[in-house]
């Protein structure tokens, strides 16, 4: 245990503060911080910071939620969760179509990978990482008005992550320190937590270095511009196309409430970024478009998303793209070839009339209240079976497991799911051969 000036033992919170003091001071005097104070920080730097923090918090909060070490669990509290605040800020800036900073997106993924690896090796590392991010809530009280002035932000718009009521944030910080200091850590464990905080702070410093200043070529439109969780695959450079893709994703999300019920807000972000990537295919050869859509459809189907969702997504995407840029209609309408391909494949196994009949039968079996609460579920159940028959295996079982979870649905619903699956399997024609994919 380390000691202070007069020989008294330092608490773990005091050790952490002393160990990260210099690194914290360097960030406060960094070019990023100076440009912010001078109201010269580009909006791309701020939004890229929010996107990077989203990736980092998501990884850290997931690890904390799943950590089985009782000491970590005794420190972590639900009211410390800041991911929803970041999501709110990113939603605010979404309509502005702010370009991403490639190096910042890379740095965020590196930090997330670091958290994932190190916390698996030793869960106590999470306490060091949490200290760094929880400590930032104190500085946020000072930073919020500076960011508001720099970017002309009002209230909490774009500032949710930084917003804290002054008395409450200090009370929470004090309670957090008490929980940390109450831990029974030996000398080696304390040193491990302190080292984790210092190591994490080094990654944070690297992130701020690439947030500002940045090279002009660092400004890119990629999937992380829409969805911080997405990989670095391309999205359109034209902001009008990105906006249309996001709109199409939102429409599809509304058409199939199952997506929200099963995949939550994270699913919505991927729906948007997938729609943006699909838009980039419009300039390709038709055979390549069909092959790439079949590939993505197979990936999503394996995660429990029947191909009718992709079919509708493509139709909505073409509509929003043509509305946004009518002069490119002929280019965008090539995407309908892939939608028609999925529809044709489905009709080879079951007629539209049979699909409607089975879907209506399911709604009748579960009753009007459940049918209204969970619309289009019968259609998705039947289409999952058709996908299986078409050679996209496992999707029906994936859907069945989720839709027959007794913790989620009542017994009459589960009976209707099993009955509809059985009827769909009886009526659907099996695949003669699995569909080929063009790559």
Domain co-membership, 32 together with 75? yes
pLDDT of residue 94: 86
Chosen domain end from 215, 235, 251: 215
CA distance 36 to 417: 56
Q: Which residues face 220 on adjacent strands?
A: 100
For residue 294, is it within any domain? yes
pLDDT of residue 291: 95
Chosen domain end from 165, 193, 215: 215
CA distance 42 to 118: 33
392 backbone dihedrals φ, ψ, rounded to 5°: -95, 80
For residue 4, is it within any domain? no
pLDDT of residue 6: 45
Domain co-membership, 183 together with 236? no
CA distance 203 to 209: 10
Q: How many CB atoms lie within 10 A of CB 44?
A: 19
Domain co-membership, 191 together with 338? no
Which structural domain range is residue 119 located in? 12-215
Examine the pLDDT at 435 and tell me if it is beyond 70.
no
pLDDT of residue 225: 85
CATH of the domain at 158: 1.20.910.10
Closest C-alpha to 286, from 346, 347, 341:
341
Domain co-membership, 117 together with 148? yes
Domain co-membership, 53 together with 189? yes
Q: What is the DSSP letter of 219?
A: E
Domain co-membership, 325 together with 436? yes
pLDDT of residue 439: 35
Number of domains making up the chain: 2
The residues, any chain, with a CB within 8 Å of residue 363's CB and separated by 6 or more, are 371, 378
For residue 7, is it within any domain? no
CA distance 50 to 153: 15
Chosen domain end from 170, 188, 215: 215
CA distance 183 to 171: 19
**Poorest-pLDDT segment among 63-67, 151-155, 218-222:** 218-222
| CB-neighbour burial class of residue 260 (10 A; exposed 0-12, middle 13-18, buried 19+) | middle
Examine the pLDDT at 392 and tell me if it is beyond 90.
no
Q: What is the DSSP letter of 213?
A: S
CA distance 124 to 16: 14
pLDDT of residue 135: 93
Q: Which helix (H) or strand (E) holds 220?
A: strand 219-220
Mean pLDDT of 19-36: 95
CA distance 255 to 354: 21
CA distance 94 to 251: 16
Domain co-membership, 410 together with 366? yes
Domain co-membership, 203 together with 240? no
Domain co-membership, 292 together with 420? yes
Using DSSP's 3-state secondary structure scheme, residue 147 falls into helix
- What's the pTM value of the predicted model, to 2 decimals? 0.79
For residue 407, is it within any domain? yes
Mean pLDDT of 114-127: 96
Domain co-membership, 243 together with 375? yes
* Chain mean position to CA 89: 14
The residues, any chain, with a CB within 8 Å of residue 116's CB and separated by 6 or more, are 59, 63
Q: How many CB atoms lie within 10 A of CB 280?
A: 16
For residue 5, is it within any domain? no
Examine the pLDDT at 285 and tell me if it is beyond 70.
yes
Q: Using pLDDT thresholds of 50, 70 and 90, give the confidence band for residue 143.
A: very high
Yes or no: say if 197 and 131 are a contact pair by the CB < 8 Å rule. Answer: yes
Using DSSP's 3-state secondary structure scheme, residue 222 falls into strand
For residue 161, is it within any domain? yes
The residues, any chain, with a CB within 8 Å of residue 37's CB and separated by 6 or more, are 146
Domain co-membership, 183 together with 237? no
Query: In the predicted model, what is the mean pLDDT of the chain?
Result: 92
For residue 430, is it within any domain? yes
pLDDT of residue 95: 83
For residue 116, is it within any domain? yes
How do beta strands 219-220 and 100-101 pair? antiparallel
pLDDT in tens, 179-235: 999 999 999 999 999 999 999 999 999 999 999 999 999 998 888 888 888 877 888
Domain co-membership, 311 together with 439? yes
Pull the structure tokens for residue 198.
């210092």
């Amino acid at each position: 245990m380390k000691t202070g000036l007069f020989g008294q033992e330092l608490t773990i919170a005091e050790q952490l503060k002393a160990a990260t003091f210099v690194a914290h001071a360097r960030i406060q005097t960094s070019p990023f911080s100076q440009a912010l104070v001078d109201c010269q920080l580009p909006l791309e730097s701020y939004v890229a910071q929010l996107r990077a923090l989203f990736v980092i918090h998501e990884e850290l909060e997931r690890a904390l939620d799943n950590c089985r070490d009782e000491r970590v669990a005794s420190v972590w509290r639900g009211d410390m969760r800041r991911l929803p605040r970041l999501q709110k800020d990113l939603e605010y800036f979404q309509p502005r179509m702010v370009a991403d900073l490639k190096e910042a997106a890379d740095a965020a993924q590196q930090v997330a990978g670091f958290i994932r690896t190190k916390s698996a090796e030793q869960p106590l590392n999470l306490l060091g990482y949490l200290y760094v991010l929880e400590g930032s809530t104190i500085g946020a009280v000072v930073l919020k008005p500076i960011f508001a002035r720099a970017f002309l932000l009002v209230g909490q718009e774009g500032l949710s992550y930084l917003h804290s009521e002054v008395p409450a944030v200090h009370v929470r910080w004090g309670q957090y320190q008490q929980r940390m200091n109450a831990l029974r850590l030996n000398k080696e464990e304390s040193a491990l937590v302190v080292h984790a905080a210092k190591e994490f702070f080094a990654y944070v410093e690297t992130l701020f270095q690439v947030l500002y200043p940045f090279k002009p070529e660092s400004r890119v439109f990629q999937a992380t511009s829409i969805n911080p969780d997405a990989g670095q695959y391309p999205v359109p450079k034209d902001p009008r196309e990105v906006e249309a893709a996001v709109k199409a994703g939102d429409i599809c999300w509304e058409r199939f409430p199952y997506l929200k019920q099963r995949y939550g807000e994270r699913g919505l972000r991927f729906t948007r970024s997938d729609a943006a990537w699909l838009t980039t295919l419009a300039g390709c050869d038709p055979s390549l478009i069909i092959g790439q859509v079949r590939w993505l459809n197979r990936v999503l189907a394996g995660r429990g998303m029947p191909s009718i969702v992709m079919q509708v997504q493509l139709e909505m995407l073409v509509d929003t793209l043509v509305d946004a840029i009518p002069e490119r209609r002929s280019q965008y309408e090539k995407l309908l070839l892939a939608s028609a391909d999925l529809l044709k494949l489905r009709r080879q196994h079951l007629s539209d009339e049979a699909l409607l009949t089975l879907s209506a039968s399911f709604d009748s079996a579960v009753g009007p209240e459940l049918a209204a609460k969970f619309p289009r579920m019968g259609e998705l159940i039947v289409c999952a079976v058709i996908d299986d028959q078409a050679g996209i295996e496992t999707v029906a079982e994936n859907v069945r497991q989720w839709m027959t979870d007794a913790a989620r649905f009542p017994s009459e619903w589960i009976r209707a799911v099993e009955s509809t699956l059985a009827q769909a399997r009886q009526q659907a024609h099996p695949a003669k051969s699995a569909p080929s994919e063009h790559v």
